[in-house]
């Protein structure tokens, strides 16, 4: 039985979180079929085979370019029926979650989001998911015939040793009901590396004293090839754009490395970063709460430590 994987992409590149979803599905042992919607080069979709997909269905209807969630759900429903897939895997994301919920309602499927491990099928179908902003895990049994799994970012190792997938055009029938919602405008985050997909993140807090000092945060991030983030007070004061706000009410990240500079570590901020593989904290206050959650900590003035750290990294790269 095939497993269907919804593949997200941006700027002509398949998102890493979607490739992780492909690898996750491949590890379950069945044939993996990807589904991509919208304009993207066929070569980029073929690369999904390296992660474990045997083929990718590609839907290119112009009406889908606007990213209307109801229409995406209709496409996935038709793909599940066409392929006979009883399991849908997709990355947990701002697009994946609402699409999955609509597909689950249509298919009568059990939906579990924030999945962090492969299913246990020794006695039924049970999956482990992250809960309470990463502070605990829950084991959930799905009893429905059809199942939808929203995969947490960085939950599985990305497979890269597969061969190119075949890409097939997939035609769908779209009803007018799917386009009752009209998107009048979109504000997209900008930057060389965007937070939701970043493997490395450098964030600054009020300890930076003002927006005029953010140059050294950006220089460290550029040296590391990292995205930039900030604490909520920083975005509230207008020092940085709101799309860089990391925390419980902002962007939740799960990078391999999170560097927090001049951030005290309020619980709301920690809730957005505690899925990070490694956390480095730089703060002159040795009592800052963030140190309790850090893998590595530097007690010192950021205005002295960060330039030296950046200089050392540049020297190591050369």
Q: Which parts are annotated binding residues for FAD?
A: 206, 262-269, 283
The residue written with tokens 């003002």 in the block is: 210
Closest CA to 114 of 125, 127, 126: 127
From the annotation, which residues make up the binding site? 206, 262-269, 283
The H or E element spanning position 168 is: strand 166-169
Nearest to 91 by CA among 192, 199, 8: 8
Residue-by-residue DSSP string for 58-123: EE--GGGGG--HHHHHHHHHHHHHHHT-SEEEEE-STTHHHHHHHHHHHHT-EEEEEE-S--B-TT
How buried is 125 (Cβ within 10 angstroms: 0-12 exposed, 13-18 middle, 19+ buried)?
middle
Pairing of strands 3-7, 136-141: unpaired
Distance (Å, rounded) from C-alpha 167 to C-alpha 292?
Answer: 48
């Amino acid at each position: 039985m095939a497993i269907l994987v919804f593949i997200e992409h941006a700027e002509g590149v398949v998102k890493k979180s979607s490739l992780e979803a492909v690898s996750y599905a491949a590890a379950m042992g069945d044939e993996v079929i990807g589904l991509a919607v919208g304009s993207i080069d066929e070569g980029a979709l073929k690369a999904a085979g390296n992660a474990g997909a045997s083929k990718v269905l590609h839907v290119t209807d112009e009406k889908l370019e606007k990213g209307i969630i109801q229409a995406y759900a209709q496409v996935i429903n038709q793909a599940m029926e066409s392929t006979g897939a009883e399991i849908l895997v997709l990355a947990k994301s701002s697009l994946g979650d609402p699409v999955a919920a609509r597909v689950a309602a249509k298919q009568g499927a059990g939906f579990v989001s924030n999945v962090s491990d492969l299913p246990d099928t020794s006695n039924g179908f049970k999956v482990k998911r992250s809960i309470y902003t990463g502070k605990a895990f829950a084991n959930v049994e799905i009893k429905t015939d059809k199942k939808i799994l929203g995969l947490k970012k960085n939950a599985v190792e990305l497979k890269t040793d597969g061969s190119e997938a075949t890409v097939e055009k997939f035609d769908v029938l779209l009803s007018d009901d799917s386009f009752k919602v009209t998107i009048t405008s979109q504000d997209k985050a900008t930057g060389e590396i965007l937070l939701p997909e970043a493997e490395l993140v450098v964030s600054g807090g009020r300890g930076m004293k003002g927006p005029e000092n953010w140059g050294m945060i950006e220089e460290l991030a550029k040296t590391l090839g990292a995205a930039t983030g900030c604490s909520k007070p920083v975005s509230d004061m207008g020092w940085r754009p709101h799309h860089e706000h990391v925390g419980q009410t902002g962007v939740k990240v799960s990078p391999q490395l999170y560097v927090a500079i001049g951030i005290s570590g309020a619980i709301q901020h920690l809730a957005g970063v505690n899925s990070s593989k490694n956390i480095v904290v730089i703060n002159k206050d040795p009592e800052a709460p963030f140190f309790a959650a850090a893998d590595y900590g530097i007690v010192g003035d950021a205005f002295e430590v960060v330039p030296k750290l950046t200089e050392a990294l540049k020297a190591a790269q050369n």
